[in-house]
Structure 1
Amino acid sequence: MSDKRTTLITGAGTGIGRGIAVAFSGAGMNVALVGRTASTLLETADLCGPDTRVFEASVNDRDRIAEIVAEIGTIQILVNNAGMNTLKRGLRDMSAERWVRVSDVNLTGAYNCFKAVLPVLLNA
């Protein structure tokens, strides 16, 4: 990556994450995309430009997130966007297992990313 500022964006393969990635790259920043599906991340990367980096990973994989952060090196902005929604199923109909999965991604995944990136942000 160049000397431009770098943003790490989780959940960057589609939707809001993709839009954020395109906006930040359009503003002249490097973007590092994290998500579970390589094909959608590559589609986002095509919209962002040649300095874009793609990392297929789950935000629940603490070790992998730490590896990604170490590989990137310098990060000025973290966008903790990865998340699951429950709109198709009401809470009344949601199983305990599904609730745990949603909480793992939406809460623990955000914590994992913040915890890995915080030391880098403090040194940026």
Structure 2
Amino acid sequence: MSIKGKVAWITAAAAGIGKATALLFAREGAKLVVCDIDEAGLQQLKGELEALGAEVLALPYDAGDTAQIDAVFNAMMQTFGTVDILVNNAGVTGPSKPVYEISVEEWDKTLEVNLRGSFYCLKLVAPVMIKNGGGKIVSLSSQTGKRALVERTPYAASKMAIIGLTRTAAEELGPHNITVNCVCPGAVEGPRGVWVRANMAKARGITVEELEKISLAGAPLRRRVPPEDVAQAILFLSDAERSNSITGEDMNVTCGAVMY
């Protein structure tokens, strides 16, 4: 596979989609730079990746702090000397409440991590990839990046903006043989999704069971998305042998909940 031996930087890798992607990339032979605010989860992941034979640099960081992002980038360059693949996975769910109840602080925090953090990582790796003559950048948007989701305004705004960032960067970086794409997951299995749905149900004044019924009815496959399925989409967009003519795209992995 073409990612064998490539240096892949995966943000927020300690759990969920990030962890599934890191494990998949390790099995494909990539060298990995993984970072997360969850230090314990990060160390557990490091052990799992090394058990698969991967070379790993694991560093704690806060995705909303550009100085900490700089530190991860600098350590990566010192350790591996390059970067071939960036997976912008870091994100927070933000508040679940009506737009008129959202504080400026809640708005800023959500966009700081979800949008600015992704932009900043892209900004750092682009000059390296230009010098290398190519690279792969994959960011995580969401089905909420394509349609409104009530009482999730900051999150929706950040994920819609990721699509705009992706398309514009694809135009700018395409002449340098750098592809820039994003993946739009639907409702993903795992603890984070459980927490989000509990908060959404509370905000709407309904039970979690009622929310689950409404949510799954909108997906033709009538189920949630395993994080491993999202990881496969990320791998596809990161592998020159599989997707070298694809750029500026927003790929759905939603069990059919979004088809545009």
After TM superposition, give the deviation of residue 91 of structure 1 in Å.
4.1
Distance 1:72 1:7 in 2: 10
Distance 1:59 1:118 in 2: 18
Contact 1:65-1:116 at 8 Å conserved across structures: no
For the pair shown, the structure with the greater C-alpha radius of gyration is: 2
After TM superposition, give the deviation of residue 78 of structure 1 in Å.
0.3
The count of aligned residue pairs is: 121
Name segments (4+ residues, structure 1) moved above 6 Å.
none
After TM superposition, give the deviation of residue 18 of structure 1 in Å.
0.5
Instruction: Show the counterpart of 2:109.
Output: 101
Distance 2:130 2:27 in 1: 25
SS in 2 for 1:22: helix
Q: Percent identity?
A: 26
1:68 matched to 2:72: yes
1:34 matched to 2:43: no
Distance 1:16 1:113 in 2: 18
Per-residue CA distance 1:23-73 (angstroms, 9 max, x = gap)? 111100011101112111111112211511111111222233223222222
1:12 matched to 2:13: yes
- Single out whichever of 89-98 and 7-16 deviates more from structure 2: 89-98
Distance 2:16 2:130 in 1: 29
Q: Output the aligned Cα RMSD.
A: 1.8
**Are residues 90 and 71 of structure 1, via their aligned partners in 2, closer, same or farther at CA, if it must alter by over 3 Å?**
same
Distance 2:15 2:83 in 1: 22
Contact 1:8-1:79 at 8 Å conserved across structures: yes
Written as runs of structure 1 = structure 2, the 5 A alignment for 1:79-98 is 79-86=87-94, 89-92=96-99, 93-98=101-106
Taking structure 2 as the reference length, what is the TM-score of the superposition? Answer: 0.43
1:116 matched to 2:97: no
Instruction: Show the counterpart of 1:77.
Output: 85
Distance 1:6 1:51 in 2: 9
**Unmatched 5+ stretches in structure 2:** 133-260
- Single out whichever of 12-21 and 62-71 deviates more from structure 2: 62-71
Written as runs of structure 1 = structure 2, the 5 A alignment for 1:18-57 is 18-49=19-50, 51-57=55-61
Question: Which structure would you say has the larger RCO, counting Cα contacts within 8 Å and 6 or more residues apart?
Answer: 1
**Unmatched 5+ stretches in structure 1:** none
Code of the aligned partner of 2:14: G
Contact 2:64-2:109 at 8 Å conserved across structures: no
